[in-house]
Amino acid sequence: PKTDIVFLKVHKSASSTVMNILFRFGETHNLTFAFPRGGGFQLYYPYHFLARFVHGFSPRSPRRFNILCHHMRFLQPEVQKVVPSSAVYFTILRNPVQLMESSFVYYKAASAFSRVRSLEEFLSQPYRYYDPASGDRHYARNLITFDFGFNPDGDASPERVQLMLKAIEASFDFVLISEYFDESMVLLKELLCWDLDSVVSFPLNSRDSSTRSTLPDWAVEKLKAWNRLDWEIYTHFNRTFWERIDRAVGRERMRREVRALRARQAELARTCLQGTGSVGPKDIKDSSLRPLQYGGARILGYNLKQGLDPELERTCRRLVTPELQYSSLLYKKQFPPPAP
């Protein structure tokens, strides 16, 4: 199994669920993580990543870490200073239409969104609300492009788009697609030589459907034009994703693998969870399993069954531990506080 990994955590793209998979794998195999200095949760995002943002990194004795997966704005020459040269680079993308709808709810306080009642209102005249000079502009335009390290207000000419796609392909070994999450996990398992249980997951950081809305067709077209760079990146990698599946797995085997993955997830849900699945934040009984609530979204979580044996309880708890709590736990393990 491959143990040196760089995961670019693109916002609002099921990336918290992927992060949980990486946390569990890293913990099980005693791997080291490139944590933000001081144990924060983001690598000084939205600044471009620098090696010195990583806790325990020193240019005089460069220490390599196995897994880099916290939020960052990608800058490969700096990333290469903190991970082994053998590291596998991957990321996951989401359709920019759903991504922006999610971003609008989650980052409602962002300067571009704070003065509008709805995403439609913003899209009807975005330049009235959007300021390219504001520090949080990326939440409102080409968020994928920004996370990859490019200019979200850049020119969308075919030449520039091609250069950007080539740069991403040169840096990343593969790109997953969140709309095909189970297929993505099968592909991840194949390309990293992991076993099935390593890529099993429950959806984390997902929001209650009451805060979701469907955009009218005119707004969808406006959004695609407004986020043109994101749309180009997504459509390109959505296509190459299926080409990669045909090469690496084949459609027939993919169907079998997805069935096996879903069966295992259903089995773990029956074993671990109270009720049938996720619940609203007020209904989560164990406060240590309550995800951070942010913006206008209601982020769902889980309740574990009572009376599980200790080993099983540990497995189940890891599957449903929200990102911030799990990150803190692993940070303390890797950098134990000095004894009083």
- Residue 296 or residue 159, greater confidence: 159
**254-263 residue pLDDT tens:** 999 999 999 9
Q: What are the b/e assignments for 68-95, b being 16+ CB within 10 Å?
A: bbbbbbbbeebbebbbeeebbbbbbbbb
Tell me the DSSP string of 104-131. Answer: HHHTTTSTTTTT-SSHHHHHHSHHHH--
CATH class of 5-334: alpha beta
Q: How many CA atoms lie within 13 A of 239 on its CB side?
A: 6
The answer to whether residue 185 scores a pLDDT higher than 90 is: yes
State the residue for tokens 């950098």: 335
Q: Work out the pLDDT band at 43, boundaries 50, 70, 90.
A: very high
**238-286 residue pLDDT tens:** 999 999 999 999 999 999 999 999 999 999 999 999 987 899 989 999 9
Domain ranges of the chain: 5-334
Alpha helices for 125-207 (secondary structure H)? 126-129, 143-147, 158-171, 181-192, 196-199
Nearest CA to 68 out of 93, 87, 85, 92 is that of 87
Instruction: Provide the pLDDT for residue 321.
Output: 96
Q: Work out the pLDDT band at 133, boundaries 50, 70, 90.
A: very high
The answer to whether residue 293 scores a pLDDT higher than 90 is: no
